[in-house]
Structures are given as C-alpha cells and as structure tokens.
Amino acid sequence: LFFFNQQTAYEVLRSLVGSGVYKRQVRTLTMAEYIQAIEQPRPPANTVLLTFDDGYESVYTILRPLLQRYGLHATSFVITSRVGRQNTINRNQPWLTWDQCRELQASGVVDIEGHGEASHCTVGGQANGGGRKGPGVARRKIAGEEIE
C-alpha cells in the first residue's frame, strides 16, 4: 500500500491476523529480523515483512495505531529528500516529518529506512525531491545529524 485510508489499512491488517476461529499465528518481522531470516537456509514459518514506501504521513497517523492495536510491526522506506517537505504531487497526502520518523522509530512498531531516490526524481515531469543521498541518510537524520 503506498497511499491508504484508515479503512483500507484496517482491512489489510485485520485479514493478516484473522479473528476468532480463523485467527492466524502470523508474526511480522523487523528489518533486522528479516535480514537474519534471509541468511538462514529456511526462513521462519508464519512470518511476513510489512513495508510501506515513500514516507507518507499516513504511516504515522493511520498505520502506527493499527499496528499497535494488532501487535504488528512494519518498515517504512522514506524518500529522504521529501521528509518534512510539502507533497507537490498530491497535496492531500503529506510526507512524514523527521520528528515523526524519530517517534515511529522509537516506538518499536515502525522501522524507518531509506528509500532509493533515483526512481522518484521526477513524476509526471515535476521535480519532487530530487537528490540522490542514499538510504543511509534516514538513519543519520533520525539520530539527529544535520545533513545538507
């Protein structure tokens, strides 16, 4: 899901965990757990890695409370040059701020990782972010490092 509303997110997460007689024993992985899992000859059973691209604010406002409700975990890959800026492509869907990214990371519910930016330098002929700072920027910004 790249853009979602509360109902869509609820339905997707609810279907993942199931309910009542159909309750599933699915465990969501952190990014660190995923990296360990793929290095094993056999991945852990009943696990999934939930990822959300680009760094939309709905990860903070909609997704995080639902993940907490269901005891799930996710990773958000943010386009670092867009964090804290106005979304010029879709003004109705703001980007996360660095404070929100830090709060999500500290919550233990959502990992924040960097998204490759080369594929998002222009959309429909509009520059929206640009720059190619790389995935390491997200971790450094969350740690409070000033980056030009």
pLDDT tens digits for the chain (148 residues)? 445 677 888 888 888 887 665 567 788 999 999 999 999 999 888 888 999 988 999 999 999 999 999 889 999 999 988 999 999 888 888 999 999 999 999 999 999 998 876 544 444 444 444 444 445 666 666 677 776 5
Radius of gyration for the alpha carbons in the chain, expressed in angstroms and rounded: 16
The tokens for 68 are: 């907490």
Buried b (16+ CB within 10 A) or exposed e, 73-104: bbbbbbbbbbbbeebeeeeeebbbebebbbbb
Q: How far apart are CA 94 and CA 88, in angstroms?
A: 9
